[in-house]
Structures are given as structure tokens and as C-alpha cells.
Amino acid sequence: MLAAVYRTQGSPDVVEVVDIDKPEPGLAEIRIKVQAAALNPSDASAWRGGGLLPAPPEGSFHGLGWDIAGVVDAVGRGANWQPGQRVIAFSHAVPPGLNRAQAEYVVVPTNVVAEAPEGVDSIHASTIPLNGLTAAQSVELLGLQPGQSVLVTGAEGAVGGYAVQLAKRRGLVVIASDLSTDGTFATEVAGADAYVPASESPVDALRALRPEGVDAVLDTATLGQAVIGAVVDGGTFVTTRMDALPKTERNIRVRLTQVAGDASILTTLSDLAASGELALRVAETYPLQEAAKAHARLAKGGLSGRIVLTMD
């Protein structure tokens, strides 16, 4: 089977498509014939290097990809799935290894799989797993009750956009912030109650809008210390990146989202997408054979929505 891999770290040119053995499912695993796999900034961190992910051992290579949409191809004896079922799944491998989402086939444990959203094509469905799980688990970490307030940074991005939508479903007052001047997606599509452009001083702008501050910040834009001043004394600060943890102050609880596969959350996200209550955004698509080109486009940034590799 074909898979996107990298043997060394550097530019997008290190990404190549190679022929490797098709994986076999274990006892509580399924094999998915991948139809679409979204690209994420964490993929660029992997092949770029210089961060938390190690380079492949000499003479070996690592796979790429977290997001899977496809069809069940084979099942282990303890797996409660049937070949032919449409699914979405989360591929989480640390260290990265070979069996990842940007390939023609992938094996995953059953606890990271959900039925694909009915009526949604695989390309759009593939944007749900990593970003949706990160957003849902981050909103949960806020620990807020209906009527309480949260500032979501990066609200027009993939994780932030999902977070705004999920926070509104929890009955929270959501102030969105991002680089665009008007926040059209955050307010008109995701449903934020107000928008603060990130080009301004985010804390000053937030306090001008809401002098008392917010009960929590969900920082998907990794602004860290620059936005903790928006939180009320004793509030909560949630970040999606370890390198963006702010210093604690004023009894504010600082929490880090460490995304994990969760079939029940994936199922809820799939149901929301199927009912049209979760907006899914795709910017561009590339065939698997053009994986290096797709990753080069990912590195340039500036897109509203995910880049997706297609396998058919």
C-alpha cells in the first residue's frame, strides 16, 4: 500500500509517498481503507523538526496524519465493527511510527472510531477527529456552567472554530478573537456572541468590551501570557499547547489539553456534523501521490479550512 512518510526532518520536500506492507488488525482493532485524511499543523511540526517529535531513526521513516475518514476493511476478533461500514477515526501514535492516517490503509483500536456522519462526504468528515476532539476536550476542561463567559483565541481556525460552536452548545457566552478584522466565520457561522480582532491588544480590547473580564480563556492561538489578563481572579485558562502555558497568577487555574482518542466524543461530533450543527471546512484537496505538494501548501498557511489528501 502507499503511505506518506518522512525519513528525515527539514522542508516539505522530505515528505514522500512509499509502498509499505498493509497492516493487519489485532484483537480489538480494525483496518480502515482510507478515503480522505486531513493535514494539520502538527504534521508540519513532525517533518520540520526542532520540536517535541523526534526524527526517525537512521534507515527508517515515520508516517504522517491524525485524521481518518474511510470504510472498515478488516476487523480483529474482538472488534464490534463490520467490513463496509463508513467511519471516522483518530490515529494517535507516539512515537510516530509507520501506521498513520495519510495512507491507503490504517489500523486503529476500536476506542478511537465512530460512524461517519450521514450525508457528509469523506473529505469533509476527515476534518473532524483531531481538531474536533481537541476542541471538545478543551471546552470540557473549562469547567464552566451555562451563562458563564469564555474568550476563545484563534476562533476562526480549525480547533478554535469547533471550540466556539461547542462552547455555545454548552450555553456559554463566547467572545471570539482572531486575526481577521470582522470575525465573520466566528460570529455568523460558529455563533460567537462578540468578536475582538487579535490585531489589537487582546486583553485591552476584551476589557473594553467586557470590563469585568471573562470566566475563562480557551487559547487555541497559543498567545499564552499575553491573554491571561483577560481572565477574572480565580478563573480558568486552557491552552492546547505545552509551550504556551502562561505563568499562574491571581489564583487562575491553568490547564493543558492533551488530546486523546474517544469514541463517544467522536460519535457526538459525527452526529452534530450529520445534523448540520457543526460547520466543517475544507480549503483544498490533493491526491495522496501529491502529499509533498500538499504539505508545502500547509506550510504556507493562510487558509480557511483544512487541506485534505484523497485516496480514491
Same-domain pairing of 123 and 137: no
The letter for the amino acid at 73 is D
Backbone angles phi, psi at 3, to 5 degrees: -150, 145
Domain membership of residue 30 (yes or no) is: yes
Residue 84 burial (CB count, 10 A) = 9
Predicted confidence (pLDDT) per residue in 56-93, tens digit = 989 999 999 999 999 999 999 999 999 999 999 999 87
Same-domain pairing of 97 and 199: no
Nearest to 68 by CA among 31, 13, 95: 31
Distances (CA, A) of 55 to 6, 10, 19, 39: 9, 10, 20, 19
* Ranges 84-98, 181-195, 298-312: which has the least confidence: 84-98
Q: Using the predicted structure, report yes or no on whether residue 201 has a pLDDT greater than 70.
A: yes
* Ranges 2-16, 53-67, 136-150: which has the least confidence: 53-67
Interatomic CA distance for residues 79 and 240, integer angstroms: 31
Same-domain pairing of 122 and 137: no
Q: Using the predicted structure, report yes or no on whether residue 311 has a pLDDT greater than 80.
A: yes
Same-domain pairing of 120 and 140: no
Domain membership of residue 271 (yes or no) is: no
Question: Using an 8 Å Cβ cutoff, are 264 and 137 in contact?
Answer: no
Q: Using the predicted structure, report yes or no on whether residue 10 has a pLDDT greater than 90.
A: yes
Q: Please give the tally of structural domains in the chain.
A: 2
Write down the pLDDT at residue 245: 94
- Residue 56 sits in a domain whose CATH number is 3.90.180.10
H or E, element range at 173: strand 173-178
Same-domain pairing of 189 and 286: no
Q: Using the predicted structure, report yes or no on whether residue 52 has a pLDDT greater than 90.
A: no
Please say whether the dihedral angle defined by the alpha carbons of residues 32, 33, 39 and 44, taken in this order, is positive or negative. positive
Which cell numbers hold the place of 83?
A: 467490513
* Ranges 63-67, 242-246, 287-291: which has the least confidence: 242-246
Write down the pLDDT at residue 41: 93
Same-domain pairing of 122 and 12: yes
Interatomic CA distance for residues 63 and 102, integer angstroms: 7
Write down the pLDDT at residue 236: 98
Predicted confidence (pLDDT) per residue in 87-144, tens digit = 999 998 766 677 899 999 999 999 999 999 999 999 999 999 999 999 999 999 999 9
Domain, as residue range, for 117: 2-128+280-310
Nearest to 218 by CA among 310, 159, 131, 138: 138
Domain membership of residue 107 (yes or no) is: yes
Write down the pLDDT at residue 95: 60
Same-domain pairing of 209 and 224: yes
Same-domain pairing of 113 and 48: yes
- Residue 250 sits in a domain whose CATH number is 3.40.50.720
The letter for the amino acid at 104 is E
Same-domain pairing of 122 and 235: no
Same-domain pairing of 147 and 228: yes
| Residues paired with residue 310 on neighbouring β-strands, in sequence order | 36, 287
Same-domain pairing of 139 and 250: yes
Domain membership of residue 274 (yes or no) is: no
Domain membership of residue 261 (yes or no) is: no
Same-domain pairing of 94 and 143: no
H or E, element range at 234: strand 231-239
Write down the pLDDT at residue 181: 82
Domain membership of residue 273 (yes or no) is: no
Domain membership of residue 268 (yes or no) is: no
Q: Using the predicted structure, report yes or no on whether residue 280 has a pLDDT greater than 70.
A: yes
Under the banding of pLDDT at 50, 70 and 90, the label for residue 168 is very high
Domain membership of residue 116 (yes or no) is: yes
